[in-house]
């Protein structure tokens, strides 16, 4: 059982979660906890998901409200009416998806990306810029919704960037972002300290 003494909320952990908590209390990190669980066949497919959810709960945040820095923007993107409607649709769909469990979110993204071409950095950057133009939440601390909406918008154009969700531990921050050819798109330099724990494609 995991108890948040500030809010009074409690969570019943499964066997995987209990192992993760034990590992963290012993001084391990989220990444090392996930690696340890991957050595157990019965927990391998849930290792990263359970680690990330448990870390988010331990920090008092929900999966759909991960901590991130607001986006630094050069100015709003110039969008046609049709383009703006498409972007808003992607933002709305991302809001729905990010309210789901990480494994469900990843399953949906894995399904949606099938048949897409790899996105280029300019394509992903334009999609991200459009998303933060129409959504104050995505331009603020809503990194999870922002990253998912960016990936979905790219998919409407037949492309897909790599979607990532992970953590850094010192200081703790859970974050979500998109990557093209190994380079995070539109992210600050300290993104290099984040360890991806869920990615689509893997």
Q: Mean pLDDT, to the nearest integer, of 96-119?
A: 91
118 and 177 co-located in one domain: yes
| Total count of domains within the chain | 2
- 103 assigned to some structural domain: yes
Residue 116, domain member (yes or no): yes
- Lowest average pLDDT, out of 16-30, 96-110, 132-146, goes to 16-30
90 and 53 housed in the same domain: no
Residue that wins the pLDDT comparison between 146 and 41: 146
Interval 153-189: pLDDT, tens: 999 999 999 999 887 766 667 789 999 999 999 998 8
Q: Are residues 105 and 190 in the same domain?
A: yes
Bridge partner residues of 117 (DSSP): 159
Is residue 74 one of the residues assigned to a domain? no
pLDDT band with cut points at 50, 70 and 90 for residue 13: low
For residue 93 the two structure tokens come to: 């769909």
Same domain for 99 and 190, yes or no, is yes
Q: Which pTM value belongs to this model?
A: 0.71
Residues in the chain, how many?
A: 202
Residues 6+ apart with CB under 8 A from 141: 65, 66, 67, 68, 69, 70
For the chain, report the end-to-end CA distance as a whole number of angstroms.
31
Which domain, by its residues, includes 37?
2-58
């Amino acid at each position: 059982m995991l108890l948040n003494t500030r809010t009074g909320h409690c969570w019943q952990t499964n066997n995987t979660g209990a192992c993760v908590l034990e590992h963290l209390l012993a001084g391990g990190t989220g990444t090392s906890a996930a690696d340890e669980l991957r050595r157990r066949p019965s927990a391998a497919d849930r290792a990263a998901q359970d680690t990330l959810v448990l870390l988010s709960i331990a920090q008092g945040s929900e999966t759909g409200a991960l901590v991130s820095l607001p986006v630094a923007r050069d100015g709003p993107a110039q969008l046609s009416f049709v383009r703006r409607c498409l972007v808003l649709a992607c933002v709305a769909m991302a809001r729905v998806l990010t309210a789901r469990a990480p494994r469900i979110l990843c399953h949906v993204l894995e399904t949606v990306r099938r048949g897409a071409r790899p996105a280029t950095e300019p394509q992903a950057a334009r999609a991200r810029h459009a998303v933060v133009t129409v959504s104050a939440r995505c331009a603020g601390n809503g990194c999870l919704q922002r990253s998912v909406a960016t990936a979905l918008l790219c998919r409407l154009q037949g492309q897909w960037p790599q979607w990532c969700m992970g953590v850094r531990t010192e200081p703790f921050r859970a974050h979500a972002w998109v990557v093209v050819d190994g380079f995070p798109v539109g992210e600050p330099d300290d993104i290099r300290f984040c360890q991806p724990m869920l990615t689509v494609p893997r």
